[in-house]
Structure 1
């Protein structure tokens, strides 16, 4: 695996690990096993249709119809399960955009269309070579779509960044938190996280006092409530920009 730093729209670097060819191949193999099991089902169903209808074209039509889920499998699985197929879920890998933004359906479409060149033509030689000689381990479909395949086993947690989960209905309390920088918020959050984990009430109080001084505010909230609110308010305003 190779380390890859993704810079988000909030200038937060998230370090991921791109997956090896072996992991990608194993995920594909798992999906192929699922196809094989599905083909058994198709064979059984078309056998029943063949007994009910002697028309060979009817049987062929039913077979073609039942093959559609296999043909579009990679596309709809990535769309429904956020960049993952069953094989990728098992191996804990997924497709993401190289710039850190959420993938659009068009990115998955481009990857799916180029599977014919990357995987199914020339016994996957083109896909393998492009992954080997790409800095980000991208096959042609990934390069064209601007996506990469990463491991989710040890990805950076949101709690280790300045990002906070903010509901759409959230109402901010401190308008001037925007005077803080990403560096300020990262320091506040890291200090707050360590102090809370170690139950260091003195550090929490000192941190709260310092933040109040910087923002020129005075709040009646408890230390933890105040710091939580400041972090959420900052994320609320920066996400709206």
Structure 2
């Protein structure tokens, strides 16, 4: 009797002659995931029974029995079937422990396959605690219980990515280190060097003034320049002394706008 390895590999070849490796889920991981699913089932069933008891307490005994029987049937059969059919082969337990039921060729499990493997689960569970399922799983040596054999499915470890080593040719060698960046930086223009020496607050003001200058009347422009006389005189003393504060402000705005330093005085 061959025993399945805890995490054996399943190699699947596609029609395009590309092979993918899947790790078959081990018995321990599947068992823990199943325990979590059973706890969830018991919790949902408890809610169904409490609802049935509440309905029965109101005198509707027939409705209470219907809720208990029909609700139990839907929960027991519907939980695994619905989750695996609409959640790409995963239940909550499988998702938590990163497992997934797929077809024998690695394809997504269909709605019919999900139904078959979960209807046959009743046989796997006999006589109790998945007794039949465990025996079949150890006999076939591929990590398949009776439901998997009937539906043509297998439980594998889930992977978010397809790595290069999964493709033919194995893991590629490390690529050579790329050459150092040859980025060429243009030298700062004389205007930029001149503007960098300005007080940051003054430069921000000059930039804002330059954008709005066409909209400002001459009177307001002169008023703004007069409020910055000390800063403008320190920034462009020759222009300030010869033409006044407004000319100095316009001079700095022109430098900021054009980025050219023609006529920039030596400070």
Q: 4, 18, 40: which one pairs with 1:34?
A: 40
Normalised to the residue count of structure 1, the TM-score between the two structures is 0.63
User: Is 1:66 paired with 2:85?
Assistant: no
User: Is 1:157 paired with 2:155?
Assistant: no
Change beyond 3 A, Cα 1:47–1:130: same
Counterparts of 1:38-187 in structure 2, within 5 Å, are 38-52=44-58, 54-67=59-72, 68-152=74-158, 155=159, 157-160=161-164
Relative contact order, higher structure (CA 8 A, sep 6+): 1
Instruction: Decide whether the 8 Å contact of 1:8 with 1:101 is kept in 2.
Output: no
**Number of residue-to-residue matches in the alignment:** 173
Instruction: Decide whether the 8 Å contact of 1:15 with 1:156 is kept in 2.
Output: no
Q: Specify the SS of the correspondent of 1:95.
A: strand
Question: 1-side partners of 2:107 and 2:15: how far apart?
Answer: 7
Instruction: Decide whether the 8 Å contact of 1:19 with 1:149 is kept in 2.
Output: yes
Change beyond 3 A, Cα 1:160–1:28: same
**Of the two, which has the highest radius of gyration?**
2
The alpha carbon displacement at 1:104 in A equals 2.0
The alpha carbon displacement at 1:139 in A equals 0.9
User: Is 1:5 paired with 2:23?
Assistant: no
Question: 1-side partners of 2:61 and 2:179: how far apart?
Answer: 77
Change beyond 3 A, Cα 1:126–1:41: same
The alpha carbon displacement at 1:4 in A equals 1.6
Question: 2-side partners of 1:41 and 1:156: how far apart?
Answer: 34
Deviation string 1:26-48 (CA, Å, 9 cap, x unpaired) is 11110111112112322322232
Question: 2-side partners of 1:45 and 1:119: how far apart?
Answer: 27
Q: Mind listing any 5+ residue stretches in structure 1 that lack a counterpart?
A: 164-182, 202-241
Deviation string 1:13-35 (CA, Å, 9 cap, x unpaired) is 11111112222121111011111
Normalised to the residue count of structure 2, the TM-score between the two structures is 0.57
Q: Specify the SS of the correspondent of 2:102.
A: strand
Larger relative helix fraction: 1
